[in-house]
Structure 1
Amino acid sequence: MVDKVLIVEGKNDRKRVKKVLNEPVDIICTYGTLSEEKLETLILPIENKDVYILVDADDAGESLRKQLKRELPNATHLYTQKEYGQVETTPFDYLTDVLREYFEVKETGQESRF
Structure 2
Amino acid sequence: MKIKEIIVVEGKDDTTAIKRAVDADTIETNGSSIGEEVIEQVKLAQKTRGVILFTDPDFPGEKIRKTISEKVPGCKHAFLPKEEARPKRGKGIGVEHASVEAIRNALQAVKEEMDEFISDITLDDLLEAGLIGGNEAKARREKLGLLLKIGYTNGKQLHKRLQMFQISREEYIQAINKILQEENK
**Superposition TM-score tier, normalisation by shorter sequence:** 0.7 to 0.9
2:46 is equivalent to residue 38 of structure 1: no
Q: Flag structure 2 segments of 5+ consecutive residues without an equivalent.
A: 86-92, 111-185
TM-score normalized with structure 2 length: 0.48
**Distance change in 2, residues 1:100/1:47 (3 Å):** closer
TM-score normalized with structure 1 length: 0.75
More contact order relative to length (CA 8 Å, sep ≥ 6): 1
How far did residue 101 of structure 1 move?
Answer: 4.7
Aligned-partner Cα distance in 2 for 1:6–1:37? 16
2:63 is equivalent to residue 63 of structure 1: yes
CA RMSD, aligned part only?
1.9
- The aligned residue for residue 111 of structure 1 is none
2:99 is equivalent to residue 98 of structure 1: no
- The aligned residue for residue 131 of structure 2 is none
How far did residue 94 of structure 1 move?
Answer: 1.3
Q: Flag structure 1 segments of 5+ consecutive residues without an equivalent.
A: 103-114
Higher helix share: 2
Question: Which structure's CA Rg is the greater one?
Answer: 2
Higher strand share: 1
**Distance change in 2, residues 1:93/1:43 (3 Å):** closer
**Distance change in 2, residues 1:67/1:18 (3 Å):** same
How far did residue 89 of structure 1 move?
Answer: 0.7
**Distance change in 2, residues 1:97/1:47 (3 Å):** closer
Aligned-partner Cα distance in 2 for 1:30–1:8? 6
Aligned residues: 98
- The aligned residue for residue 15 of structure 1 is 16
**Fraction of identical pairs, as percent:** 28
